[in-house]
Chain A
């Protein structure tokens, strides 16, 4: 029953988020701030992880291809497919659930326990719209992060495979272009948009409705990471089933 209550509360929160909009000039500033915190602030870790995970994927594939009948271009093909289909959109989103999700939960949770949300409500401001709407809009730019992650992942794979002497550069590029299905990119970006919405709203829910003090803010951040990851994984499965099978 608690789960049903939480799911209902989550959808009511979403409804409240798109009501009684905050003044445009104030909202603009909030969106820019969230863009800086959520998107620009995540670029460093996403770039670092993408490059090295891409490199490791290429290395692992190259090291496990012992059969001379299997073409070396498979290293690039495998790296491209794994990065575009799962690593960049899903794996990075799970990491973002830890980074961005915890930040959203703890920042809203702290405002909750220090009565800052009450202060907004008393002033007649729709706190849901003020706090959550800018985050949703900022996260619309999340696909750019994932696009950069895809590029850097493949660059990492190229660097490891070519510099490591496993695959010649022209063969790697040929492998990247082999059997490329453009719809795979569409699929990856459709789920990225869904993950962006989940990343903005599920942690916000956990911060907004938490009760207690500083200790509970920490607990809410952990719970938020777990639930955001669970929702992302389930959504990933549903979207893959719907679009690719």
Chain B
């Protein structure tokens, strides 16, 4: 579980996050949604420790990050898995080497044991048989799956995903969404996903935080998002033609 209390972050005097309060729950897919420039990525980078907030507290399993010793911070980074928007696979390494990388860096196990774990994880993301391929030789969807495999290979406690299905066709995007949700439940981890894809929200939004201009304006889950009267949320949700037409059809029926 990750708790965020009164989080503020500014760049060159301009406040990007304005007092965010939210709890990212364990064994749930927690979504941060909002328009571009709303502060989603900045919030994620604060949670990852890449940005230092000006004010506020981030607690990992109840303990504030500021109270972590250097060794604890190091341990925490080993418990974090991250799926980047573009995959961020090391392009000089094969699929297998990419997934093996965190194990090589942080475990003292023998190579054989590590390779077995890599095989197991690649099988979990349906990529067995692609071990020796280079990232440039596989599709965008497969790259995302390799990225997920690399993120979970070290059995993390927290999984962060930055727009994991951007640039993918709707079918592959759904596969990736479902895979992340399954892994979240299976590994009992706290998953935080940044997205502005309403399909993902409907598919896996077990807990949702909606940001607008650096302010948390709404929180809830996928079943509540269509019932809210909050103008900012409805603007965002119905900005898609598809959802707008569904709403019009529903209103006609009524």
Contacts and interface: CB of A to CB of B under 8 A. Distances in A.
A188 B157 CA distance: 55
A115 B74 contact: no
A19 B88 CA distance: 24
Interface residues of B, number: 21
B250 to A, nearest CB: 40
A113 B6 CA distance: 31
Contact of B90 (A26, A116, A118): A116
Contact of A124 (B74, B88, B101, B104): B74
B217 interface: no
A118 B86 contact: no
A86 interface: no
Given A114-B86, A115-B86, A116-B90, A122 B48 contact: yes
B77 A124 contact: yes
A116 B93 CA distance: 12
Given A26-B104, A122-B48, A123-B102, A115 B77 contact: no
A111 B104 CA distance: 20
B82 A119 contact: yes
B59 interface: no
B86 A123 contact: no
Interface string A103-141: 000000011001110110111110000000000000000
Interface in B49-100: 50, 73-74, 77-78, 80, 82, 84-86, 88-91
Q: Contact size class for A?
A: 10 to 19
B88 A125 contact: no
Contact of B91 (A25, A114, A118, A125): A114
21 contacts: A22-B105, A23-B105, A26-B104, A111-B90, A114-B86, A115-B85, A116-B89, A118-B50, A119-B88, A122-B48, A122-B50, A123-B77, A123-B78, A123-B80, A123-B82, A123-B101, A123-B102, A123-B105, A124-B73, A124-B77, A125-B105
Give me the 7 closest cross-chain CB pairs, A-B, nearest first: A124-B77, A115-B88, A119-B88, A122-B82, A115-B84, A116-B88, A122-B48
Interface of B: 48, 50, 73-74, 77-78, 80, 82, 84-86, 88-91, 101-102, 104-106, 160
Given A22-B105, A115-B85, A122-B80, 9 more contacts: A26-B104, A111-B90, A115-B86, A116-B88, A118-B50, A122-B77, A123-B77, A123-B82, A125-B105
